Amino acid sequence: MAALFARQTSRMAAPLMRVLSWPARVAAARRTMSELARMSDYELRDIGLSRQDLNDATSLPLDADPSRLFVRRRASRERPAAGRADLAA
């Protein structure tokens, strides 16, 4: 009986915790975007991003973590190391 009550309480508490943590998630996402926006184009290129990636991330929901988008973008630009022809030869 106690286990059933604990599960029901947990299911009801999860949406409440999501609502209560929303301001913190928004602040974290904005902080990340602010830090990236201050980077130069050279610094962004060094980590595999472009200024357009930052612009695209602004279309995400306020509390969305932009790092998933950035990881996907960077991965799409990486060249496969194995089997790559040496163009310098």
What is the pLDDT at residue 49? 92
pLDDT of 23 over the 60 cut = yes
What is the pLDDT at residue 46? 92
Q: Is 85 exposed, middle or buried (0-12, 13-18, 19+ CB in 10 A)?
A: exposed
* Distance (Å, whole) CA 78 – CA 75: 5
* Distance (Å, whole) CA 30 – CA 37: 10
Which of the two residues, 10 and 35, has the higher pLDDT score? Answer: 35
Q: What percent of the chain has pLDDT over 90?
A: 33
Residues in contact with 58: Cβ distance below 8 Å, sequence separation at least 6, in sequence order: 33
Please give the C-alpha separations between residue 40 and each of 15, 32, 75, 80, 82, in angstroms, as whole numbers: 39, 15, 21, 26, 31
pLDDT of 50 over the 90 cut = yes
